[in-house]
Amino acid sequence: MAQRIGERLRRLGFSENVFGETIAFFVARETETVYVMAMGLKIASENLYGRVFKSSTAYKILKSSRASDVSCGVCVSLDPIAFYNSVFDKEKLVECFKNGICLRSICDAYIDTSVERVLDGEDFVEVFLRPVRIRVFRRVPRVFTRASAAIVEALVWLTKMPFLKEDERRWAFEFISMLRETVYRSSSDESHRKVVESIYSLAKRFLEGNVFR
């Protein structure tokens, strides 16, 4: 069974060596409160492994709860707008999660997991998720697009900016600027351009000393 799960994870693109970008839904069983966040995951033995940093709300619940009191659903998606919402419009995705049915519209696949272990780190907790069930919603492959990849990469660097030194922040901003240009060159979709402009503007404000929340 564990081997079969591992094979299915690899078919979805997960590996032991590279973090795959996903959208994670953590649920506190006692209150049924849902916390959503973009999260990098990779295979670790029979589990998926990721890190949750102090800046996220999910960090607090993982620190204050037993692993058995928290569950996690993992959305595998190529939709850059879904990743944008996982950072800036979380309530939209929380409602989608509670609805259940609309997950099919944003997830290519969905993995139900149990939280096996949570280990303390200095600025984050390490989380080990055991896959329980994998549901594939989109069996027909979709083409990879540079615009989608650039938006997700820009989001990753934007969320790192609060933890970087000043010279590293400037480098991150310049990299986000380059990714913004990539989106404009490779996509005329207004939703893509709108979200990358939002990311760029927030990165610029942060670089100028206006810390975003």
Residue 71: which residues within 8 A CB-CB, separation 6 or more?
A: 26, 27, 29, 112, 113, 114, 115
Measured CA to CA, the distance from residue 161 to residue 211 in angstroms comes to 10
Q: At what angle do helices 80-88 and 90-99 cross, to 10 degrees?
A: 110
pLDDT tens, N- to C-terminus, the chain (213 residues): 555 888 889 999 999 999 999 999 999 888 888 999 999 999 998 899 999 988 788 888 888 778 788 899 999 999 999 999 999 999 999 999 988 888 889 999 999 999 999 998 778 899 999 999 999 998 877 888 999 999 999 999 999 898 888 899 999 999 999 999 999 999 999 999 999 999 999 999 998 876 544
Residue identified by tokens 């928290």 is 70
